[in-house]
Structure 1
Amino acid sequence: RGILLYGPPGTGKTMIAQAVANETNANFISVRGPQMLSKWVGESEKAIREIFRKARQVSPAIIFFDELDAIAPMRGLEESNHVMERVVNQLLAELDGLDSLKDVVVIAATNRPDILDPALLRSGRFDRLLLIGPPDKLGRYEILKIHATRIPNSEDVNLEELAELTDGYVGSDLNSLCCEAAMLAMRENLDRVNMNHYLEALKKVRPSVEENMVSYYERLSERFKGGVKIEPSSLIGYR
């Protein structure tokens, strides 16, 4: 009943959750982690209870927690506080009651699975973990096709070549690339975007995902597969 999507920013974790809801005709309840935190005692926990109560009423439903690490960091870390610890405890209580919920699934997304409270990842809670990595060459080509249809391109634009040149680019990067190419054409008062505009745009729009970040998530994925406890320290320069 609990699924955790993790991976670099911009890889489409939120979009995947929305697509699952659309394909299953389930009601979609989306919550951004930071919005759950309140300075008033008890308000954050109350908000968690209300979300699950609403899901019970409108089932079949999917509850989606975006930026889960913002509300459920490992208890005891410097970044956590008493409010977050109470939120984690309330969230654990609600997740433990999932078996009694009919047609309610919880999906969460995070860029920082290494700082999540380990209790969230135990069996019966978020026990299905899926790595959502950057797209491969074919994936980048398909994403470029979607964005390119919105732009008047010249015949010399080669999307396959662009897909080859954009290793490490995620969906949001590719969208920015197409927008930048279109802006370059507009500045030249041209009606169409040509390949040179895309090549120039590549110099300005850089990939979000670097090689060390990819290897970090791959190592983390192997740890999850083997059931190895996550170390609280980050493996890349986030902290």
Structure 2
Amino acid sequence: MPIVSALLAELDGVSSSADVFVLAATNRPDLLDPALLRPGRFEKLVFLGVCEDRAGQIKIMQAVTSKIPLGPGVSLERVAELLPLTLTGADLYALCTDALYNALHRITCKIAAGEVDKDEAVVCVEEADLSVAASRLVPSVTPSELAHYKALNTTKQR
């Protein structure tokens, strides 16, 4: 792998400079070349897992929906209750954007049916849009993959 060799050479050159801090992230720690984890390179591993509680999921959904128009009766707490505790931030982002697409589809159908004037149409995500998105959502990390990543985390601690 010429890219890994080049990266290792750069990391070895940086180690002599006291003012440089190199940080990296991966969603596949099991594929890291062991040479990258030697002292002086990426010697500290920090595992950032999935949201394992409802409060964390709600906070992420609040952040994602801060720029999405939500209906007045939307309860992210009720939506979170529909979700598994194995979702990544990207999964929760996908949930919210899918709900936005559901709302957009709903309003365009109303416009096409003549129920709403196109100049007065407003796209607003309702709780039903989020519920439909939740029912379709497939977590990007399976429980077995999550267990595997957690095991990597405990074996690679220094």
Match of 2:155 among 208, 223, 226: 223
Q: Name the residue aligned to 2:28.
A: 112
**Structure 1 position 138 matched with structure 2 position 55:** yes
Amino acid at match of 1:128: K
TM-score (norm 2): 0.77
Q: CA–CA distance in 1 between the matches of 2:38 and 2:95?
A: 40
Name the Cα RMSD after superposition.
2.0
- Mapping for residues 10-29 of structure 1, pairs under 5 Å: none
CA apart distance, 1:175: 1.7
CA apart distance, 1:159: 0.8
Cα distance change of structure 1 residues 222 and 151 upon mapping to structure 2, 3 Å threshold: same
Q: Name the residue aligned to 1:170.
A: 88
Q: Name the residue aligned to 1:207.
A: 139
**Structure 1 position 151 matched with structure 2 position 68:** yes
Per-residue CA shift, 1:173-211, capped at 9, x if unaligned? 222211221222222227322211111111222221221
Any idea what SS the aligned residue of 1:128 has? coil
Gaps of 5+ in 1: 1-83, 228-239
Cα distance change of structure 1 residues 111 and 100 upon mapping to structure 2, 3 Å threshold: same
Structure with greater helix percent: 2
**Contact 2:29–2:149, Cα closer than 8 Å, also in 1:** no
TM-score (norm 1): 0.53
Gaps of 5+ in 2: 108-120
Q: Name the residue aligned to 1:182.
A: 100
CA apart distance, 1:102: 3.0
The structure, 1 or 2, with the larger RCO (C-alpha pairs under 8 Å, 6+ apart) is 2
Q: CA–CA distance in 2 between the matches of 1:93 and 1:160?
A: 49
Q: CA–CA distance in 2 between the matches of 1:211 and 1:180?
A: 23
Cα distance change of structure 1 residues 223 and 153 upon mapping to structure 2, 3 Å threshold: same
Query: Which segment drifts farther, 150-159 or 214-223?
Result: 150-159
CA apart distance, 1:110: 2.0
Any idea what SS the aligned residue of 1:139 has? helix
